Structure formats: structure tokens, C-alpha cells
Structure 1
């Protein structure tokens, strides 16, 4: 167990770590409450006003009937059914959406916009994740080893005798810049353009996805659309059976 030395005395890190962890959670709870509670109350008031307007326009309905209908909509939404449109809407569990969901499972992103509702589907999801998450980690580990080999070769080239310190510094700065552009600058720009989001929303989505937090409040529908179009091409070409 690691210890902290203070005045020639060894103290355990356990208690400070636990207290620091709890403090961090309490601080986060306080800040999120201050930032989000007022906006939530405003949205709730607007929704209540819309319900009152609806009742005033359609006097044949009473409040209880409206609340029951809202409950039906909420239950449909929780089960992944889009209440808009009619029964001809595309299925949430066609191949493209299922493929996208499988990717969110093995990468532990788990957006939450789609989840199995049947017992067999939930049981399969557990075992699929049980083997899929380690497989994904092994794939990323192998990919990291390959990148490390190339970086080590580059490092040996940079640190050859006679290479100026300026070249080494510029090389490191170049890779930091390229990494920042590839992961934190270009993706938000692309998502904001394609999905119609602001740059801040695109940056938020990119970070939440890369960190595998995956709240699910923003989901890139264009990716699902591309997969769907690919499956349509496969079906038409006979390479994939519907």
C-alpha cells in the first residue's frame, strides 16, 4: 500500500484518496445543479404551458386523458420507438442501427439512445459485451503497439547524433498539433457541418465519445445513415441477405 511521508512519518494514502474522491463528487454535483437546474425548470414550465394550450384548443379532452397519452409516448420512447410519424418509420433495429449498437457495446461508449428491451436480447448483450469488450481492448492494444513501433523508429531518427535540439522540439510540436487537429479540431468541425450542430456541440460530442462516457444526448445520425446505405448496396448486389 502506498504511503505519504510527512515529518518522517508514513501516512496511508487511502483516507486522503477517499476524501478527495468524495469531495470531487460533491463539487461536481453542486456545479451541475447550479448550471442545469434552472434550465430544466424553464423547460418544464414551457412543457406545462404547451399542455395547457393543447387542452384549451381541444376541449373534448380532459387532463387525465392527456396525461395517459403522454405516458404512452414516454413508454414508447423508452423502448426505442420514435413516436413521430407512423408505422412506416425505419426500424430502430435494422442492420445499420444494430451494427452501430454493437460498436457502442464493445467500445463501452453506450450512448443509451438504443438498448435491447427483450430478455433474450438483454442476455445476449451481456455475453456479447463480456467477450466483445476484451476483444476491443486487445484490438486497440495491438493497434497501439503498431503505432509505438513507428514512433520509436521516428524517435531514433530524431535523436541521431548531430540532430539539433530545435528539430526535436519542432517534431514533438508537430505531432502534438497533428493529434490535436485529428481528434479535437477536425471532428467537431465535420460533425457540426454534417449534423447541423454548433462547433461547441460538435466538440462536446467528440469528447464524450472519445472518453467513452456516451451520454446519448447527441448521436451522429449521419454515421448510421452511411451504414444503412452500405447495407442497401450489399443487399442489391446480393452480397448480403436481408
Structure 2
């Protein structure tokens, strides 16, 4: 019965993880609704008010025509065309922007502010992602191993058990601190300067990008009123690749800690006990059977 008890504990902690996962989703839904719904209602009412003012100032334009204009502007935005721009504006599909878009495809970030509009481009995007996403995962896996290689080097260098734990803890702290500075703290300063965002907006963009959430509400190099150097978005794409590898390692460590905290790995079936008992029974000589006649 010990094996059955261990398995029941494993099922219990798995059920706890599932319930905790669902509770976390419900909690997020309630908080987002509480924080954002009132603001959405405000902007929606303000938008309707601005349309009414526009119709009052331009009496030659009726409501239906205005709605058609809004629809055209929305379609232009979806296709990545700046409604305020003209033919002299840089193309959304020059090499630098195309390189950045290719990176968002294979890293599964998918901002959504730019997408292929031709059938040929859409079909190529499908097959490009089909082979590119596994290639990206393999590349990030190797890059992550390289980023954490210094931890293995320190483990080999340290031989004394008492000192090993201290150095390992210090190495992990250095890894986390250095990565946080390079990928989460300093980049928002650059984005704030180049894009004109606040530091909070830059930090928000940084984390949403490196975690591959990619809402698309903030994207670098898309302000038509700013002049960007040609390699700006390409350099950003390279930063994204290294940042993805580092943050993936952090997420893996966090996931392991959560699993250990929930004791998912503490109650594994110990088949060695059952095998030992079986071997012991096999090694014991068979006892003579005594037949008692009735």
C-alpha cells in the first residue's frame, strides 16, 4: 500500500496545480476587468463625442460617410500603413523592417501591427514559421546553455562541498543580476530616448517582448514623426534573441521552483522498494507444503 499512497499524493498535488492554474486565470480576468473596463468605456464615449463634433463642424459629411472613413483608417492600420503618411515615408517592408518582422515570426512574438497582405506572402509566412519556430527553439536552447555555461565551470572549479553551495548561489545571483541589467533595466532607457516613451512604457515593452507575449501596442521604429537609423530595428531584433534565451532560463528556474514548492517531485513512486521485495521473495527457498487430510 505505500506505493498506492505515494501515487495518491502525486495525483493530489497535480490536482492542486490545475486548480491553482485556473484560479490564477480567474484572478487575472477579474483584475484586468476592474482596471481596464472603466477606461475603455471612457475612451469609447470620448470617441463617439469626437465624431459628433466632427459631423457638426463638417455638415457636408453624414454619419455613414464618416463611418466608412473610420473603417478605411482601421484597415490601413491593420495592414501597417500609416494614415498620416505619404509616399515619401519609409516602407514598412524595407530590409530592416522585414528582418525585424522575420524575427517576430520565428520567435512567436507576433506583435500584430504588421502582417503580410498578399496570398504569396501569407503562404510563405506559414512555411517560414513551420521550419523557423523549431529552428529558433533549438538555437535558443543552445544559446541558453552558453549563457549558463559559467555555472558549470564554477561547479567543476569548486571541489569543497561547503564552498560549492556558496559559489553556486553567488553564480546564480550574478547571472540573474547581469541579465536583468542588460535585458530589462538598461534597454528601456534606450527605448525611452529613441521612441519618446516613459521609462515605464519602455520597461513594459521590454518584458512583453522578451516573454513573447507581444501585444503590439508598443513597437519600436513605428513612429512616423521620428527618423530612425536603418539598423535600429535589426539591432533590436538581435537584442530580442539574446534576451529571449536569458528570460527562458529564468522562466525554467522559476518553473522548477514552483514544482518543488508544490511537491510535485517530492512524491515519486519508489519502484526500488517493490523490486527489492520481489527479489527477496525470489531468493527465499520455497517452504515445504504440508497436506493435512480431512
Q: 1:218: how far off?
A: 0.6
Is this contact kept in 2: 1:188–1:203, CA < 8 A? yes
Matches within 5 A, 1:83-94: 83-94=83-94
Name the residue aligned to 1:22. Answer: 22
Moved more, 98-107 or 144-153: 144-153
Matches within 5 A, 1:1-242: 9-10=8-9, 12-13=11-12, 15-157=15-157, 159-161=158-160, 168=167, 170-221=170-221, 225-227=228-230
Moved more, 179-188 or 18-27: 18-27
Q: 1:16: how far off?
A: 4.3
Structure 2 unpaired stretches of 5+: 235-294
Separation in 2, partners of 1:102, 1:195: 21
Separation in 1, partners of 2:233, 2:41: 43
RMSD: 3.1
Moved more, 84-93 or 180-189: 84-93
Q: 1:229 to 1:201 in 2, by over 3 A?
A: closer
* Matched length: 226
Normalising by structure 2, what TM-score? 0.67
**Structure with the greater relative contact order (CA < 8 A, sep ≥ 6): 1 or 2?**
2
Structure 1 unpaired stretches of 5+: 232-242
Secondary structure of the 2:92 match is coil
Q: 1:62: how far off?
A: 1.3
Q: 1:162 to 1:123 in 2, by over 3 A?
A: closer
Q: 1:227 to 1:142 in 2, by over 3 A?
A: farther
Separation in 1, partners of 2:64, 2:124: 39
Separation in 1, partners of 2:49, 2:114: 30
Separation in 1, partners of 2:174, 2:19: 40
Secondary structure of the 1:12 match is helix
Is this contact kept in 2: 1:4–1:11, CA < 8 A? no
Q: 1:20 to 1:194 in 2, by over 3 A?
A: same
Q: 1:211: how far off?
A: 0.6
Name the residue aligned to 1:236. Answer: none
Is this contact kept in 1: 2:151–2:172, CA < 8 A? no
